[in-house]
Amino acid sequence: MLFLRSLLFTLMMVVATVIWSGVCILAAPLPYNKRYFVTSRWNVFVIWAARVVCGIEYEIKGHENLPDSPVILLSKHQSAWETIFLLANMPRPLVFVFKKEILYIPFFGWGIALLRMIPIDRKQGKNAFKSVVMHGKRRLKDGQWIIMFPEGTRTQVGSQGKYKSGGTRLAVETETPVVPIALNSGECWPKNSFIKKPGKITVSIGKPISSEGQTPDGLMEQVEQWIESEMRVISPHAYSAG
């Protein structure tokens, strides 16, 4: 049964991606906020389909911690689910920092290319981060929020990757507070797994942490401490052996 539900969900997502890529191209001339809204309807559809077809519910804790001002979101990363969910469920348009190769993915990459994201060309080395800071300052000034995943890649449930300081370096450079986010999406939408499992994903949002007078490493240590501590609150069973 799980296989059939996962198969139906995947087919729905593929069809929606093809259709939405065309819609996004047609919406390209619209003002940015309207273009962003149109594009993010794909995200809304996928989260809806995951709930209806696969039984993946969700809850948000700490939504009141999101300020009405520029921030950099630093999130736990267990699944593709949060990249889809967060884009459509934050109060301001999000700017993802991601590797440039994603833009080459047919249909999906084309839609992303129409948004004000920040692709990184890792071949540029140190210059890549300079580009992130330059574009990041512009996006924050325009009222958008930047989101980054400090662990860099998806982690298995109950595990912890190495937290890299790129997000907090950007926060210190731009004098922007960071908001830590813990989530356990991997329990329902596991990394590299075709099968999606029913259950409830918890997205827990922490209070903003000021970057003023901080070092990137010191700030990231606070972010890591909050996220990993909160992970043990929302997924105690996954860490009970530790």
pLDDT for res 115: 82
pLDDT for res 236: 95
pTM of the model: 0.93
Angle between helices 81-89 and 32-54 (to 10 degrees): 130
Which numeric CATH code is attached to 56-239? 3.40.1130.10
Tokens standing for residue 194: 């075709």
Residues lower than pLDDT 70 in the chain: 122-126, 241-242
pLDDT for res 241: 60
Q: What is the pLDDT of residues 73-130, one digit of tens each?
A: 999 999 999 999 999 999 999 999 877 777 777 777 777 777 888 887 766 666 778 8
pLDDT for res 126: 67
Sketch the domain layout of the chain as residue ranges.
56-239
pLDDT for res 125: 66
